[in-house]
Amino acid sequence: MKKLVGLLVLVAGVASGQGVSSILGTTGSSPRAITIDSGGNVYTANSGSNNVTKITPGGVSSILGTTGNTPYAITIDSGGNVYTANSGSNNVT
């Protein structure tokens, strides 16, 4: 996403959710939550593939790792640590 005069612009995927894996360049599916770090990296918690995807400002995507079952929330602390809340396994990873 880009902030453009207070508007959000779609930069990956499509509104229907089709093509997310090919756009992200990973096996991330069913993104449920998103956060952005101080460096402009975008992180998605993907409940369909039980992983976290990182997309750099340059558009390079990677999977950071698998999480618990069905991640539905994501946050980053001041140290750059990524946390997910997982509804399927009732835990935070």
pLDDT in tens, 8-35: 555 555 555 554 544 555 557 788 899 9
Number of domains in the chain: 1
pLDDT, tens digit, for every residue of 24-64? 555 577 888 999 999 999 999 988 888 888 988 888 888 88
Q: Which domain holds residue 9?
A: 2-92
Give, as one character, the DSSP assignment of residue 69.
S
- CATH number of the domain that residue 82 is part of: 2.40.10.500
Cα–Cα distance measured from residue 11 to residue 44, given in angstroms and rounded to the nearest whole number: 13
